[in-house]
Structure 1
Amino acid sequence: MLPGNQVPATLSIGTAASSAARIVSFRNAIRWDIVRHFAPTALPFAALGVWALSRVNPVYLSLLLGLFLLGNLPLLFRKPAPNVAVKPVHVARLHVLGAAAGFISGFTGAVGLVFNGFYYRLGLRKEEIVATRAANEIMLHLLKVILYAAFGLLSARAAVAGLAVAMAAILSSILMKHLLPYLHDRLFHHIGHAAMVVAGVMMVIAAGGQIARQEDVTLHFAHAAEEVTASLSWQQHTFAVEWENGDELELSHRVRLPSATSPDLFQPHGFVLHVSPRTGIQAVRVWGSSRTNSRPATPS
């Protein structure tokens, strides 16, 4: 619905409204000892993240975050651990967490799920997690909305979409106020891990699709008789693997470079590595449009 660089602004509007609703619903469970050390470093780093967003494509960071969230998959099948005891809060770790959360949040819009594990390890109750996260995030998202608008990353369409997300988030917070007391802490953690895995899958799929379109990434597979070929094309590069004659392997990399005589024409350059039980290993340098014009290296 929106250009990629306007999505974080929409998410921030919705998350700010959700945080406000959760603060109202669970205000007595807020751990202020965590909030007062988290926010001071999160806010300036959020501004740095918004500035970076105005100059860098966030899709690669989204892909990395998606892969990070997928790391929670083994936790879904792990035997539930006993209730975690409350652990002391290390101030230095809170400042590092605030800086990381602020920067990544400014760059992608929302990262609450990414840092869920931190709150789990502190031994917070489910109400404390919901309330403390909301208190940590509300100032962060309000600041980001202002910065997104200042950097030209908040359009009227993005604002309308953000308001729609905000209305749904507020209704969700009202529902959770009545539902959360009936959830066991272990079930709450299990749902949290499942949500992180689902979010990771969606982020990897979405970011992977965007990268494929932006970088002109294509995959090709062919099978005929005793030959199997698979190739990956990325911008001017093509990587290929071929299985020939039932027992020969060929690996190749070609890059399309402008011709020295005509910049409008492109010629493939690269290398081919051929492995055969009969001829051994051969490395061939590719020059020009045909392998017949290549410069073969001495077989090893």
Structure 2
Amino acid sequence: MFFALLFLTSLAAFALSTVSGGGAGLLLLPVLGVGLATAQVPVALSVGSTISSAARLGLFIRHIEWRVVRWFVPLSLPGAFVGVWLLDRMSPLYLEAVLGLFLLGNLPMLFRRQREMDAKPGRPGTLLVLGLVAGFVSGLTGAVGLLFNRFYLRHGLSRQQVVATRAANEILLHLTKLVLYGAFGLFGANALIAGTVTGAAAIAAAFGVRKVLPRVGEITFRRLGYTAMVVAGAVMTVNAGSGLVAKHGISVASRRVPQGLDLSFNGFGGWVGVELRHNELPEIEYVVAFDTLPEAKRAVAAPLIEGAERVIVEAVLSWRSLAYELHVYRDGVLEKYEM
């Protein structure tokens, strides 16, 4: 069932990707995450993207803009090595959240007039930096094309040139990643199957829309590209946000009290409370270690906690001052002291 859903989703994503300049990889990240372990998602996506890039090269090879390729590729390969090396050492969720917000930043471009979307070719130094960052992000997430779609759209390339040049830039990068994934022992049977299914859908999509692309106007092509970036950004942000909430046990609770509202934020192994009272400035409360109390406060608190079963120290931060509350439990009874 998962692989059938993956094929249909990949077919739609790669078809959209071809007529909008890219984005299938980032759109497929949350879909692949449903059936694969987190570390296997970039592997499957790289397998599928390699097949997709090869198919696009075969169809659009005469449109490649080589002056972009020769500056973009060299630093993308060491960037990919660093990204793959970090893959089993950190969660891609954090990067996915940042990338999602970055892509959402393209929203204003949807409302720009035609002359504000004119091409502004990048310099060779810019291409080198973009290649390095693209390699790193691609190694860590398995997808990167749409992140730099704005560069291709602003560089003065035609529709066919965008598709062909991206494929040329990315195929060597994807092949390098596959070697690195194997060297780091990240391959798995399910990842290979998912990648093959994704690649098959990519080939079908490429052949299906190759005659459609020349019929798409330049401005329409650019607007579709920016739309794809914004949609992918929204999907990535929601997906990464829900993943981080589950990973760190993040929750928010509220409670009405006679004079206002109490808010409680939990997560990352900690707790923060906010007290909102009528005609009073907000107060922020959070737990601190007893040893972090100022020496004078510890001297006052020492006799109050003797024989206690449990002690919790809360810092109370207001606009003008920092105070402390001491919560002492004896025989299941709470005694509260303000310092």
Within the candidate set 249, 254, 277, 1:216 is matched to 249
User: In 1, are the aligned partners of 2:288 and 2:315 still within 8 Å (CA)?
Assistant: no
State yes or no: 1:62 paired with 2:96: yes
State yes or no: 1:293 paired with 2:337: yes
Within the candidate set 247, 272, 286, 2:316 is matched to 272
Spell out, residue by residue over 1:140-182, the C-alpha distance to the aligned partner (whole angstroms, 9 max, x if none). Answer: 1111112112212221111111111111111121122111011
State yes or no: 1:97 paired with 2:141: no
Name which of structure 1's ranges 265-274 and 71-80 shifts more when overlaid on structure 2.
265-274
TM-score normalised by the chain length of structure 1: 0.87
Distance, in Å, in 1 between the alignment partners of 2:183 and 2:290 is 41
State yes or no: 1:284 paired with 2:323: yes
What's the offset of the Cα at 1:225? Answer: 5.3
Which structure dedicates a bigger proportion of its chain to helix?
2
Count of residue pairs brought into register by the alignment: 285
Name the residue aligned to 1:204: 237
Q: Given residue 9 of structure 1, which amino acid in structure 2 is its aligned partner?
A: V
What's the offset of the Cα at 1:248? Answer: 2.9
What's the offset of the Cα at 1:17? Answer: 1.0
Q: What SS does the aligned partner of 2:212 have? A: helix
Unaligned runs of 5+ in 2: 1-34, 292-301, 329-333
State yes or no: 1:169 paired with 2:202: yes
State yes or no: 1:39 paired with 2:83: no
What's the offset of the Cα at 1:84? Answer: 3.2
Q: What SS does the aligned partner of 2:327 have? A: coil
What's the offset of the Cα at 1:269? Answer: 2.8
Distance, in Å, in 1 between the alignment partners of 2:318 and 2:159 is 58
Name the residue aligned to 1:144: 177
User: In 2, are the aligned partners of 1:49 and 1:102 still within 8 Å (CA)?
Assistant: yes
Q: What SS does the aligned partner of 2:219 have? A: helix
State yes or no: 1:255 paired with 2:287: yes
Please, what is the CA RMSD of the aligned residues?
2.5
Within the candidate set 13, 38, 48, 1:14 is matched to 48
Q: What SS does the aligned partner of 1:110 have? A: coil
Distance, in Å, in 2 between the alignment partners of 1:217 and 1:104 is 26
Name which of structure 1's ranges 209-218 and 252-261 shifts more when overlaid on structure 2.
252-261
Aligned residues with identical type, % of pairs: 40
Name the residue aligned to 1:298: none
What's the offset of the Cα at 1:197? Answer: 0.6
Name which of structure 1's ranges 28-37 and 127-136 shifts more when overlaid on structure 2.
28-37
Name which of structure 1's ranges 265-274 and 124-133 shifts more when overlaid on structure 2.
265-274
User: In 2, are the aligned partners of 1:126 and 1:185 still within 8 Å (CA)?
Assistant: yes
Distance, in Å, in 1 between the alignment partners of 2:187 and 2:257 is 52
Distance, in Å, in 2 between the alignment partners of 1:21 and 1:27 is 10
Q: What SS does the aligned partner of 2:275 have? A: strand
User: In 2, are the aligned partners of 1:257 and 1:266 still within 8 Å (CA)?
Assistant: no
Q: What SS does the aligned partner of 2:265 have? A: strand
Distance, in Å, in 2 between the alignment partners of 1:202 and 1:258 is 43
Within the candidate set 162, 165, 168, 1:129 is matched to 162
Q: Given residue 251 of structure 1, which amino acid in structure 2 is its aligned partner?
A: E
Q: Given residue 284 of structure 1, which amino acid in structure 2 is its aligned partner?
A: A
Name the residue aligned to 1:189: 222
- CA 268–40 in structure 1, closer or farther in 2 if over 3 Å, else same: same
What's the offset of the Cα at 1:226? Answer: 4.6
What's the offset of the Cα at 1:40? Answer: 1.6
Name the residue aligned to 2:297: none
